[in-house]
Amino acid sequence: MLRVEALGGGVSADVFAVSFGDQRLVVKHALPRLRVAQEWLSSPTRVLVEADAMAFARRIRPGNVPEIIDVDDERLVIVMTAAPPGMQNWKARLLEGIIDPTIGAALGAALADWHTKSSSDPAVLSRFGDRTHFFDLRVAPFLQRVAEVHQDLATKIGDVIDRMMARSICLVHGDFSPKNVLVDQGSFWVLDWEIAHIGDPTFDLAFLVSHLACKAIHRPSDAARYHACADAFLATYFDRSGVGVEKHDLVCQIGGLLLARVDGKSPVDYFDPLERDTARTLGRRVLVEDNADLADLWEPQ
């Protein structure tokens, strides 16, 4: 008997779990307009990029990425293996206060491997050179939108964008977020590679740390534990990675992304008004202070 179940939680695609016998697969079709309040458009051909990127990532870390089973180039649909039973969404666990720094460390190791291996692979560097989807789904709706809202910071944010876009170092996931990580005891999967591109590895680090900082604002009693998770992620990445990341740029990108989670086209869904103000103040402070460092992210005064 064939069973089809719509999977929720995302704004960029229609995703279904398909079960028959003891087989369980996931079918994904990217949307041309994302499900958010503001108009947000992007070509659904990005699902083909996702299939290619996942195939590469699985070759490097076969235990941490689903297997691509089929790709329909005409209908822009991909089919992949479903997560093993017991895997849970990391974002949901973090919001419940289940915070394990060993997951942060494991993700840092995986990301370092993907960045390092891709940086020396001519075929990957050539195949993923198009940044259109990254611009449509990250630069314009996140950082450029923030520059429009916070016009006094437009020059600083513009400089952050320029430095980021000037780097073409390795395969960047582009959506390295807790919502795209499934975890279980001793294992994890990284999903949603549709914005993968050759670019600045700093962005993946900044994206994940900004999400952990948002959760620290939301659950201040657990802020030290989110901080420990971010530290484990970054420390493992820097110990293992073969690509360069400028820490000042990392802090600046995180500041811009904190503002984007409040004033961009995809705001955080769990902030109350006071938490939004706190994130906004922190993001602005990090960008305004030239000597801001990573420790300042955990002091949202």
Return the domain boundaries, the chain. 86-298
Strands 13-20 and 2-7: antiparallel
Task: Give the chain as a DSSP string.
Answer: -EEEEEE-S-SSEEEEEEEETTEEEEEEEE-SB-SSSS--B--TTHHHHHHHHHHHHHHH-TTSSPPEEEEETTTTEEEEEPPPTT-EEHHHHHHTT---HHHHHHHHHHHHHHHHHHHT-HHHHHHT---HHHIIIIIIIIIIHHHHHSGGGHHHHHHHHHHHHT---EEE-S---GGGEEEETTEEEE---TT-EEE-THHHHHHHHHHHHHHHHHSGGGHHHHHHHHHHHHHHHHHH--S---HHHHHHHHHHHHHHHHHSSS--SS--HHHHHHHHHHHHHHHH-TT--GGGGG---
Residues 208 and 297: their CA atoms lie apart, in Å, by: 13
Residues of the chain with pLDDT under 70: 1-2, 4, 6-13, 18, 21, 31-43, 300-301
3.30.70.270, 3.30.565.10, 3.90.1200.10, 3.40.50.1820: which CATH number matches 86-298?
A: 3.90.1200.10
Per-residue pLDDT at 46: 81
Task: Report pLDDT for 22.
Answer: 75
The pLDDT of residue 130 is 92
pLDDT at 189 (0 to 100) = 97
Question: Which amino acid does the sequence have at 198?
Answer: I
Residue 152: exposure state from Cβ atoms within 10 A (0-12, 13-18, ≥19): exposed
Q: What is the pLDDT of residue 81?
A: 92
131-151 pLDDT, tens digit each = 998 998 899 999 999 999 999
Alpha-carbon distance 151 to 87, whole Å?
43
Give the predicted TM-score (pTM) of the model.
0.92
